[in-house]
Amino acid sequence: MSSRQYIKLAGSLPPRLTRFFARYPPQALLSQSTPPTSSTPAQKHPVTGKWHDPVFSLRRQAELVKLARQHGVEELLPYTVKGTEERLRRRAENGLRVKGTGVGQRVKGKESERTLKGRLEKRRQAMLEMPQMIQTWKERGHGRGWKKWPK
């Protein structure tokens, strides 16, 4: 595309997209010498080693992609995990798999869910010993001689 076409295109886009493209022009427009500026993934600072949040949050990235797709200019956006191509690739890779259910993964679950089996087993054991316990309780004068009170 020539620059004239780009200018015409920019006029037809919603202001939100033009603002984005003004800040992060598509690679095709940039001269080869300028390094690509990235706005989307979280970045590690080269000197301090600290992580910086992405300039555009995942939610805003998704919104921009949607808007760009509506106007047919998605390929001009920089790479983002919210892009259609990336989404299709993930869908092909994972199918309709629910997160955490893949090979080698497991769902942690609530504490009550994790300990349920053990608690039921303990209860079952206690119920097996219950007739014997009641028998001794009756023999010891209905609690008069009882020594083992629960904590």
What residues make contact with another protein under the rule CB under 8 A? 119, 122-123, 126-127, 130, 133-134, 137, 142-144, 146, 149-151
CB of 112 to another protein, least distance (A): 11
DSSP 145: T
Q: Are 137 and 143 in contact (CB under 8 A)?
A: yes
What gap in Å lies between CA 22 and CA 15, rounded to an integer? Answer: 10
* Opening angle at CA 50, ends 49 and 56, nearest 5: 125
CB of 70 to another protein, least distance (A): 56
Which of 30/126 has CB closer to another protein?
126
CB of 119 to another protein, least distance (A): 8
Residue 43 phi, psi (nearest 5): -125, 145
Which of 95/143 has CB closer to another protein?
143
